[in-house]
Structure 1
Amino acid sequence: MKLTIHGAAQQVTGSMHLLEIGKYKILVDCGLDYEKDHNVMMNEEFPFRPEEIDVVILTHAHIDHSGNLPTLVRMGFNGQILCTPPTAELTELLLLDSVNIFLRREEKSRKHNRKRPGSGGRQPLYLQKHVMDTVDRFITIGFNRPFHVTGDVELTFIPVGHLLGAAAVILKINDNGTEKTIAFTGDIGRKNYPVLNDPQELPKVDYIVSESTYGGRHHTKDKTIEQTLVETINTACIKEQGRLIIPAFSIGRTQALVFSLNKIFSSGLLPPVKVFVDSPMANASTGIFRKYHNLLNEEAHDFYNRKGDEFEFDNLSYVENLHESRQVSNYFEPCIIISSAGMLEGGRIQDHLYHNIQNYYCTILFIGYCAKGTLGYRLLRGDPIVHIRDRDLAVYATIKKTDLFSAHGDHDDLINTIKSQDPGILKGVFLVHGETESMQMMADTLQADGYKVTIPVKDIVYEL
């Protein structure tokens, strides 16, 4: 049995792991690599032949895990894609949104190159047709239901929080008469997160391929989500009579935020403030959260039974179209604007930033991770001038951040996930999906307790 880490090796994005059992090839995740964003077409340079992949197993819907699937299909992959039911529906939304982003970039590139004869525009990585071809390959499997991929490979999805439908992949494999087990954690969630259930403990396995996003870092413990939001809203919208803009991923983060605001305003912790959710994809994905309400956590169910829909409350408006979105820009009363994308790379959030980045009475609250090279990363870095819509704009708005909405487990959560395994039985831990420093800090902690840890080198084959 061979393992090759083709993506998210000593970096966060682009998860893509190849497991070979004899001639049978399993690809776990196929995500977009944001660090190739200066040349998106580099994402089609697979280090293997797509037509030789037998099956893809998808841990969850986020684009850094799913976003290169249509490229794989376009370039010859003809097998099934196995995932949970919510993952299938949420992935379709995200992939179609990626097509729109690619097309906008192509149009922008074409306009830019009109002045340069002979220059070609940036081509889309894939189109809607390729997304629908991809969706046709989805086979959905529920949590904790063993599924025989082949006679020698059994798959079980274990819920890990992080996102609706997100799962760790547990593979029980007959490798030439020897039973071997391996877990791919995907992204591990955190306990007591809004809407989502806590991660389920993994069964005992021989090998673990674990994410390490927050290795060496700990989430804020001295404040709750509600306390942080109340303080920020009170300052930005009530005392300063300004506006609060919250960039949020449409799928997962927005629903957690809306539920938290619902609890705050329905409990009377703040006077009413107008809240706009300006993201068509957030509106659609909230419908999927409602559809799979049985997978939400006990707190959400209790709230629903006492007060009704977790994602609806007075003064909350879901913006439906571009005309309504422009009206939000002309709303001059104090308000909260929730819009995507969370890293500010496209989406309606850029319109709101364009009109408010130079507004002294605007606060921008980041509630999620921003990859290097993104507009969100540059704002969090403190750049005094940023480029939006072909203009360089000075940053006068107040920039804040909180890690309380991070859907990733922190250092202790990750370590505890692995320490649920016996170091005498666990044969190896492979750390992926993190910066090198984060991986090393996790490795140091685990090795001190006797675990065998590898920080994989991209495209190097490891014999298991």
Structure 2
Amino acid sequence: MRLTIWGAAQQVTGSMHLLQTENYSILIDCGLDYEKGTYQEENQHFPFNPAEIDLVILTHAHIDHSGNLPTLVRMGFEGQILCTPPTADLAELLLLDSVNIFLSKQNKRNKGRRGHHHSGPPPLYLQKHVMETVDRFITIGFNKPFKINGSIELTFIPVGHLLGAAAVILSITENEITKKIGFTGDIGRKNYPVLVDPEILPQVDYLVCESTYGGRLHSSNTTLEETLINTIQDTCIKSPGRLLIPAFSIGRTQSLVFTLNQIFSKGLLPPVQIFVDSPLANHATEVYRKHHSLVNNEAKEFYQTKGDEFEFDNLIYVHDRKESESVMNYLEPCIIISSAGMLEGGRIQDHLYHNIQNYYCTILFIGFCAKGTLGDRLLRGDPIIRLRNRDLMVYAAIKKTDLLSGHGDHQDLVNTVKNQDLAQLKRVFLVHGETKSMDLLATALIEEGYQVTIPEKGEIIEL
């Protein structure tokens, strides 16, 4: 049995792991690799023949895990894609949104290159490829062993992080010897709004573990509720300002809205108008309602006593462009939640354009911003940003909290591995992290006595 790490090897994005038995090939995740500026060209080709892959298993819907599935299908993959029910619904939304992003970028390139024949690479895939991909989804519930064939069994284990996100446990029998291989996907954190806590993984022989927050601990000196209350008080109550919160549409927005619902339903703040300006977030919230049985007990109890976690007075979901423009003309203090979380496109750019030079505006980042993104430039203190071909002075206050990060931190990752019997776990393979994070996590695990490998991209590992 061979394992090849073809993606998220010594980097964060592009998760893709190939597991091959004597006569069966399984791809675990097939995400977009964003590490290079030419990501469309980078993701056009696979280091294997897609037609020779028998099965894909998808850990969760995020685009760095699911985003290249339509390319795989377009290039000859004909098998099924196994995932949980919420992952199927959320992945469809994200993949269709990716098509819109591809087409939007192509249109911008074409406008900027009139008179030139070369307008850059075509979109990685189109809507028809997404729908062909969605048709291949087969959904399986959590903790329900599923026989893939006579020698391979799959079980999905809840890991928080995003609705439907799962660790993959594969039990494979070859030559009358059974081995268990675990893939953590992305591990969430405990007590996260809306989502369940990650479950302890069953014992495995080999573990492929994410390392995003290796060496880093989340803030512990305050709570999310306190942080939001203080920020809203300073921005919208003590002064007549507006609070812009760039938020990823799927997952982060739903958890933020529920937390705001709790704050205002308890009467901890006077009413403030809140706008959610993201069509994708609106659709994702409907998926969360559809799969309400999978939210955590806190959200279920709130629903039973106070009603819909994602609906309350003074909360408005913005739908079309006209409504979005009316939000920009709203003159009272307000909170605007909009995508994208790193400010790279989306309606948040419209709100940023109209408010970045507003002394009474605060921009609160609640998620990771990759290097080079507009969000990253604001967080590092750039005094001027360029938007819509204009240089704009940054007068708005810039703040950040990691309390809504969907990833478990260093200690959570260490604990995930430490729940495995040291005598039985033969090796841990670290993926999905920056090199520094991997090294720090590897050092901590080695100190605990575990055998740890940080694979290079394309490295073949015999299990």
TM-score between the two structures when normalised by the length of structure 1: 0.98
Partners of 1:38 and 1:375 in 2: CA distance: 18
Structure 2 letter corresponding to 1:65 = H
Indicate the residue corresponding to 2:122 in structure 1: 123
Partners of 2:324 and 2:194 in 1: CA distance: 27
Partners of 1:158 and 1:355 in 2: CA distance: 44
Indicate the residue corresponding to 1:15 in structure 2: 15
Provide structure 1 residue ranges, at least 5 long, that are not aligned to the other structure: none
Q: How far has the Cα of 1:374 moved from its partner?
A: 2.3
Q: How far has the Cα of 1:385 moved from its partner?
A: 2.7
CA contact (8 A) 2:273 2:335 kept: yes
- Look up the SS of the partner of 2:255 in the other structure: helix
CA contact (8 A) 1:5 1:459 kept: yes
CA contact (8 A) 1:29 1:65 kept: yes
CA contact (8 A) 1:105 1:122 kept: no
Q: How far has the Cα of 1:352 moved from its partner?
A: 1.2
Indicate the residue corresponding to 1:287 in structure 2: 286
Partners of 1:174 and 1:164 in 2: CA distance: 31
- Look up the SS of the partner of 2:201 in the other structure: coil
CA contact (8 A) 1:113 1:121 kept: no
Indicate the residue corresponding to 1:49 in structure 2: 49
- Look up the SS of the partner of 1:268 in the other structure: coil
Q: How far has the Cα of 1:65 moved from its partner?
A: 0.6
Indicate the residue corresponding to 1:28 in structure 2: 28
Q: How far has the Cα of 1:381 moved from its partner?
A: 2.4
CA contact (8 A) 1:33 1:43 kept: yes
Q: How far has the Cα of 1:38 moved from its partner?
A: 3.4
Partners of 1:229 and 1:412 in 2: CA distance: 25
Query: After superposition, where does 1:258-269 map in structure 2 within 5 Å?
Result: 258-269=257-268
Structure 1 runs, 4 residues or longer, greater than 4 Å off: none
Aligned residues: 463
Structure 2 letter corresponding to 1:105 = K
Partners of 1:74 and 1:346 in 2: CA distance: 26
- Look up the SS of the partner of 1:35 in the other structure: coil
CA contact (8 A) 1:170 1:181 kept: yes
Partners of 1:216 and 1:3 in 2: CA distance: 26
Q: How far has the Cα of 1:13 moved from its partner?
A: 0.9
Deviates more, 1:257-266 or 1:144-153: 144-153
Query: After superposition, where does 1:328-343 map in structure 2 within 5 Å?
Result: 328-343=327-342
Query: After superposition, where does 1:348-363 map in structure 2 within 5 Å?
Result: 348-363=347-362
Indicate the residue corresponding to 1:79 in structure 2: 79
Partners of 1:65 and 1:45 in 2: CA distance: 16
1:229-258 residue CA offsets vs partner (Å, 9 max, x unmatched): 001111111122111111111111101000
Residues 450 and 13 of structure 1: CA distance in aligned 2, closer, same or farther (over 3 Å) = same
CA contact (8 A) 1:363 1:399 kept: yes
Indicate the residue corresponding to 1:195 in structure 2: 194
Q: How far has the Cα of 1:389 moved from its partner?
A: 2.8
Query: After superposition, where does 1:38-437 map in structure 2 within 5 Å?
Result: 38-115=38-115, 117-437=116-436
CA contact (8 A) 2:106 2:119 kept: no
Residues 444 and 276 of structure 1: CA distance in aligned 2, closer, same or farther (over 3 Å) = same
Partners of 1:436 and 1:317 in 2: CA distance: 42
- Look up the SS of the partner of 2:108 in the other structure: helix
- Look up the SS of the partner of 1:44 in the other structure: coil
TM-score between the two structures when normalised by the length of structure 2: 0.98
Partners of 1:39 and 1:164 in 2: CA distance: 27
Partners of 1:193 and 1:265 in 2: CA distance: 18
Structure 2 letter corresponding to 1:328 = V
- Look up the SS of the partner of 1:36 in the other structure: coil
- Look up the SS of the partner of 2:379 in the other structure: helix
Structure 1 letter corresponding to 2:413 = L
Provide structure 2 residue ranges, at least 5 long, that are not aligned to the other structure: none
Residues 176 and 386 of structure 1: CA distance in aligned 2, closer, same or farther (over 3 Å) = farther
Instruction: Supply the RMSD in Å over aligned alpha carbons.
Output: 1.2
CA contact (8 A) 1:110 1:122 kept: no
1:146-201 residue CA offsets vs partner (Å, 9 max, x unmatched): 11112111000000001100000000001232111010000001000001110110
Q: How far has the Cα of 1:398 moved from its partner?
A: 1.3
- Look up the SS of the partner of 1:431 in the other structure: strand
- Look up the SS of the partner of 1:70 in the other structure: helix
1:392-439 residue CA offsets vs partner (Å, 9 max, x unmatched): 333222111100001110111110010000111101101111111111
Partners of 1:146 and 1:77 in 2: CA distance: 25
Partners of 1:65 and 1:391 in 2: CA distance: 35
Q: How far has the Cα of 1:125 moved from its partner?
A: 1.1
- Look up the SS of the partner of 2:38 in the other structure: helix
- Look up the SS of the partner of 1:408 in the other structure: coil
CA contact (8 A) 1:56 1:79 kept: yes
Q: How far has the Cα of 1:121 moved from its partner?
A: 3.7
1:107-129 residue CA offsets vs partner (Å, 9 max, x unmatched): 000001115x3332442111100
CA contact (8 A) 2:33 2:39 kept: no
Q: How far has the Cα of 1:131 moved from its partner?
A: 0.4
1:328-385 residue CA offsets vs partner (Å, 9 max, x unmatched): 1111111100011112222111111122222222111111112223222222222233
Partners of 1:387 and 1:463 in 2: CA distance: 50
1:197-218 residue CA offsets vs partner (Å, 9 max, x unmatched): 1011000000110111111111
CA contact (8 A) 1:34 1:371 kept: no
What's the % identity of the aligned pairs? Answer: 71
Deviates more, 1:390-399 or 1:255-264: 390-399
Structure 2 letter corresponding to 1:381 = R
CA contact (8 A) 2:106 2:123 kept: yes
Structure 2 letter corresponding to 1:20 = Q
